[in-house]
Amino acid sequence: MVDVTVMGAGAFGLSVAWACAKRGAKVRVIDPGGVGAGSSGGLVGALAPHTPENWNVKKAFQFESLIMAEGWWAEVEATGGVSAGYGRTGRIQPVKDARALELAKARAESAKELWQGKAQWQVVERDTLSDWAPESPTGWVIHDTLSGRMFPRRACAALAAALRSKDCEIVAEGPRVGKVVWATGWQGLLYLSEDMGKPVGNGVKGQAALLRLDQSSAPQLFADAVHIVPHADGTVAIGSTSEREFDDPSSTDAQLDDVLARAYAAVPVLKDAEVIERWAGVRPRAKSRAPMLGKHPTKDGAFIANGGFKIGFGMGPKAGEVMADLVLEGRDEIPEAFRPEASL
């Protein structure tokens, strides 16, 4: 017997499956491509928060999820015996000018209240940090202690191992039995757009690279719109592009070269590191720009968990729980801004 069938083995699909399995549900995950076959099997893995200002439901939801992450990933790893490479290692960002410095200091004050003392947003002099810190025009950088990291494809493998340890099936095909949750990524959003007769979401291609450089205990960096994320395995991921128009979803090109060049300029120590992988994939972006969680708009009795554009793993712990509330208990605590209707 299967209580819940999850269509899709990416960040959202596996997170929902895990939340349901922890509550005793018998779960089957179906994905023809396998675990982490889409953008969830990428390289970057930046679990970074929104700025602590103009607080709204989306930012509060993400904050709660990021705070949950440490214990959540520890349980996943302990259950399945596979590491996701998670670490709450923080993030450093350069401050480009006097106006940005003023804003950064104001955000430091608002973070004291909004982040509830569970994390800090600090403005510090760049020279007080190591050579790993990015170059900064003002000599100041932002250092937050809320940001975390994990290696996406390893995180998917860790979730899959935890699910299998609870006798959950992960298969390429099979019958849709019990409650069905559709977490089918960017292609699922395109199919939904066809069903609705109007665009409700699309795919945005991203390109990234993996370098061999051991900075495993260092914070991630965000400089010149580039994420630089040290992983626990002695590699550093750099990404990514945001391409609304593309012909080949899996090819890399000169746009990735530009991303690497910007990373090298910001952090010169990266220049001598070997590039061991170039990667491209397509991320699902709902029209509302927020995750799409709730009852499926075109499939009676079914549910949807999609649109985790750039924040799927960061939102995963909290998204999984609210979806399990809805699917297993009929308790709907999903924010209005995340409901499918927000993108219709």
- Mean local confidence (pLDDT), 32-53: 96
pLDDT value of residue 179: 98
How far the first Cα of the chain sits from its last, in Å, is 34
Q: Domain spanning 4-87+148-200+287-343 has what CATH number?
A: 3.50.50.60
Say which residues have a Cβ less than 8 Å from residue 272's Cβ, sequence separation at least 6.
none
Whether the Cβ atoms of residue 110 and residue 122 lie closer than 8 Å to each other:
no
pLDDT value of residue 333: 95
pLDDT value of residue 344: 83
- Mean local confidence (pLDDT), 240-267: 96
Q: What is the pTM (predicted TM-score) of this model?
A: 0.96
Residue for token pair 């010149």: 224
Residue 130 is given by DSSP the state -
Would you list the domain boundaries of the chain? 4-87+148-200+287-343
pLDDT band, residue 131 (cuts 50/70/90)? confident
What does the pLDDT look like over 269-326, one tens digit per residue?
A: 999 999 999 999 999 999 999 999 999 999 999 999 999 999 999 999 999 999 999 9
Whether the Cβ atoms of residue 220 and residue 263 lie closer than 8 Å to each other:
no
Dihedral of the alpha carbons of 228, 233, 235, 237, in degrees to the nearest 10: -40
What does the pLDDT look like over 186-229, one tens digit per residue?
A: 999 999 999 999 999 999 999 999 999 999 999 999 999 999 99
Following DSSP, what letter does each residue of 240-285 receive, concatenated? Answer: ---BSS-S-TT---HHHHHHHHHHHHH-GGGTTSEEEEEEEEEEEE
pLDDT value of residue 90: 98
Phi (first) and psi of residue 169, to 5 degrees: -85, 140
What does the pLDDT look like over 136-181, one tens digit per residue?
A: 999 999 999 999 999 999 999 999 999 999 999 999 999 999 999 9
